[in-house]
Amino acid sequence: MALGLVSSAVTPFAGYYVAALAATILCGWRYGAATTLVGGAVAWWLFLAPISGNDLLRVGGPVSVGVYFLSAAAVVAVAESMRRLVARLSESRGALAERNFEYDNLFDRMSEGFALCEAIWSDDGHLADYRVAEINPALRRMLGVGAEAVGSTYATGAPGEREWLALCERVLRSGAAERFEYVHGPSGRAYEVRISRLSAGRMAQFFFDVTARKAAEAHQAALFEELNHRVKNNLSLVAALLQLQARGASPTAREELTKAVDRVHSIAQVHQALYLGSRRESVDFGAYLKDLGASLAQSVAADGRVALVVEAEAVELPIDTVIPLGMVVNELVTNAVKHAFPPPAGGVVTIGFRRLGDDLRLTIADDGPGLPAPSAASGAGLGMRLVNSLVAQVNGALAVRSEDGAIFEITLPLTPLSGQTVVYPGLF
């Protein structure tokens, strides 16, 4: 516009600014620069060269042309910045639109259920409820709900509601994901639900259909139960055959065969516990000890001279730990009845089992005369050699004391079992 300050006749040439601006925005700075040069050349020719004999040159002409070039260059630079900004915005919008399309496509087509939930906090700072912000078609089909589920809240006063909200609050506060199994009542299908925190007040719930897997696990469990039942029956048959063999054997052989029968029974009772228990990889060792004590009372203490007392806590132990410990108890109780209370003496043998911090303590004690020598635990007999070998097998430590009787203490580390899945009765 500065050219118009020199002469009103050259005011129309201010349009070259508009041309440079348009060329830069539409085609880039090179075209804007070219337009500026062409406009400057035309202005130069008009201002500095005579036209039709009329000298239009003015003193301010060269200055105005110079100002034109500088200001036009500034216009081109600003226009190029605007063009690049608009291009970036356009690319961002395109990328955002593409991501939204991919998200919507994934959201609508994924076979797993998904729900986005917003927390509703009570005045005392606890999670009182949550609102379903989004729910994909797969989860609608799983739960048998429609689009009206979006915007709905969870709390209805149903059983298990408080436990479920407490779990969700734990996820929102700690950020640690949780998983559990959920059986949908109306359909009877089983789902694995995983909850993850997205922000302080939002969480995502993922539903995976595990009905087929649960059916396979149930079938496998049935086969496992049948296997344990058959093993238990076969071991009982072996024990019966040994008992028959013992009837016609010499006193020494009969004693050894009776010990073998008790050892077989201790193993058979592990399989019996597995068959009757709810878990497949572990046994309630406290309950197992009570059954084993009752069995030993009928065999090695059948005459009533010795009473067997079992004081055991309920602790789930793996099968590989239960079988060696059961055989250890069998050996030590048998030895106590035989050596601490020879006929006609009588007394009490106590089997104790409890937690001790991060360890477990298994104790077999009697109120007899005590051990004849401190080295009894490392004796040359088959029974004690077997005991020491089995204790080492479970990474335990055996300590022997003689205090108002013989005391055998076995300490072993408490190995936690794999985490169990929590089952909740309802979600929506």
**Tokens standing for 174?**
């700690």
What is the per-residue pLDDT across 285-330, written as a single tens digit (0 to 9) for each? 888 888 888 888 887 777 788 899 999 999 888 888 888 898 888 8
Q: Is the pLDDT confidence value at 197 over 90?
A: yes
Place of tokens 């259920």: 113
At 271, the amino acid letter reads H
Look at 237 and 350; give whichever has higher pLDDT.
350
Is the sign of the CA dihedral 80, 86, 90, 92 positive or negative?
Answer: positive
pTM above the 0.85 mark?
Answer: no
Q: Note whether 190 and 183 are within 8 A (CB).
A: yes
What is the residue-averaged pLDDT of the chain?
78
Q: Is the pLDDT confidence value at 354 over 80?
A: yes
Q: Which of 199, 112, 158 is nearest to 427 (CA)?
A: 158
Question: What are the sequence ranges of the domains in the chain?
Answer: 3-108, 113-209, 212-280, 300-415
Q: Is the pLDDT confidence value at 79 over 80?
A: no
Q: Is the pLDDT confidence value at 54 over 50?
A: no
Banded model confidence at residue 51, pLDDT cuts 50, 70, 90:
very low
Q: Looking at the domain 300-415, which fold is it? A: Heat Shock Protein 90 (3.30.565)
Distance CA 413, CA 312 (A): 17
Distance CA 417, CA 428 (A): 32
pLDDT of residue 363: 94
Residue 109 DSSP SS3: helix
Q: Which of 70, 82, 71, 66 is nearest to 22 (CA)?
A: 82
Q: Is the pLDDT confidence value at 93 over 90?
A: no
pLDDT of residue 170: 92
Q: Looking at the domain 113-209, which fold is it? A: Beta-Lactamase (3.30.450)
pLDDT of residue 374: 52
Banded model confidence at residue 3, pLDDT cuts 50, 70, 90:
very low
pLDDT of residue 101: 66
Q: How many CA atoms lie within 13 A of 72 on its CB side?
A: 32
- For 211: left if phi > 0, alpha if psi spans -120 to 50, otherwise beta; the answer is alpha
Q: Is the pLDDT confidence value at 221 over 70?
A: yes
Q: Is the pLDDT confidence value at 237 over 60?
A: yes
Least confident of 35-39, 83-87, 89-93, 374-378: 374-378
Distance CA 295, CA 303 (A): 13
pLDDT of residue 313: 92
User: Average of pLDDT values for 58-63?
Assistant: 54
